[in-house]
Amino acid sequence: MKNKLFFFVAVVLLLSLSGCSSYYYSILSSNDRVGIRSDLGDFVQETDTVVVSYSFNGENAPVSIIIYNKLDEPLFVDWTRSALIIDDIATVYQDKKVLVEGETESVSHGESYRWNSRITENVATSRGSFAGSVFLPKGVDFIPPKSKIENIPLNLPGIPFDKILKEEYVKENITTNDLSVVSVRTKEFTESDSPLCFRSYLTLYTDDHNGKQRKYMFFERNFYISKLIKAGNVPPSDFSEQQQLSGDFSYARKVKGAGVGIAVGAVALGVASVVVGVALGPGDESFNIEF
């Protein structure tokens, strides 16, 4: 009986090791004189009119843009004229894809004549549902006076961690939340040799009113990756809380050997069922395994 339990535990452990995650972290910087980096790590640009704040915190570097209207009049953001620009290729922030779903119902009426001259009415009812997407311009966002909006239109492209030579990384020790020390590999960059440089371009305007013409405002900010971290199985929760929430901090996760592990686990389960089936004969103890 103990041998059977041992074999079962071994199979479970084999399956649990099939999806080992590796974490890759990146830290962004900006050398622009037009803005600052806040205590939260956000990139802030402020004028007499607005405050524009960028954050890339989270998995796969979501581009979060917060715009605060300091004026006493409404302000508008034209996302169709705003974009993320990488290698001189602009990706418009405007997401024209709108999800559509709902239900349909139709009723049809008709009359039929039978041999006995009686008239009967036929009623047919059909119901269904639909789901899909249509492409429509989202248009312009409206920001009331003394208020703000947030938009997360896209994510940064994948960082080429593996394209950087292994010997270019250096070992660095970091202290985790539980005060243990773990070793990671890091590489720092300047703006000139960074693996990813990009800029954000925003178009804002005030509307026509009281004889005033529409006034356009344009905001541009440059960014680059200043540090990469290959941390193995060290998850984001092991970093300090301040680092986890920092606007310049993002990560990607890769699962290694998931397909191979599942295949090996399936074979192991097959073998386990055979072994257990053979071991359990007449008069043996009852031992059931369910998955």
Residues 3 and 60 in one domain: no
Q: Which residues of the chain have pLDDT under 70?
A: 1-19, 95-138, 209-211, 257-291
The answer to whether 68 and 147 have CB atoms below 8 angstroms apart is yes
Could you tell me if residue 147 is inside a domain?
yes
The verdict on 243 and 263 lying in the same domain is: no
Say yes or no: 48 and 108 in one domain. Answer: yes
pLDDT of 143 reads 95
Residue 217 sits in the same domain as residue 113: yes
Tell me the pLDDT tens digit for each residue of 240-264.
999 999 999 999 998 876 554 444 4
DSSP letter string over 155-182?
EPPPP-GGGS-GGG-EEEEEE-TTS-EE
The pTM (predicted TM-score) of the whole model is: 0.70
Handedness of CA 34, 219, 189, 153 (dihedral sign): positive
What is the per-residue pLDDT for 101? Answer: 46
Rounded-to-integer distance, Cα 160 and Cα 152, Å: 23
113 and 190: one domain? Answer: yes
How high is the pLDDT of residue 211? 61
Q: Which two tokens stand for residue 100?
A: 């559509």
Domain shared by 90 and 123, yes or no: yes
Residue 246 identity: S
Torsion angle, CA of 179/181/182/183, rounded to 10 degrees? 150
Q: What is the pLDDT of residue 199?
A: 97
pLDDT per residue as tens digits for the range 111-146: 543 434 444 555 555 555 545 554 433 578 999 999
The answer to whether residue 86 sits within a structural domain is yes
Does 286 reside within a domain?
no
Say yes or no: 2 and 63 in one domain.
no
Instruction: Note whether 109 and 123 are within 8 A (CB).
Output: yes
In a domain, 291, yes or no: no
Domain count, the chain: 2
**pLDDT for position 184:** 95
Structural domain for 110, as ranges: 20-256
Q: Residue 204: what are its φ and ψ, rounded to 5°?
A: -125, 160
Instruction: Tell me the sheet residues that pair with 222.
Output: 199
Write the pLDDT tens digit of every residue in 158-171: 877 777 888 999 99
* 6 shares its domain with 70: no
**Is there a domain that residue 285 lies in?**
no
User: What is the reported pLDDT for 125?
Assistant: 53
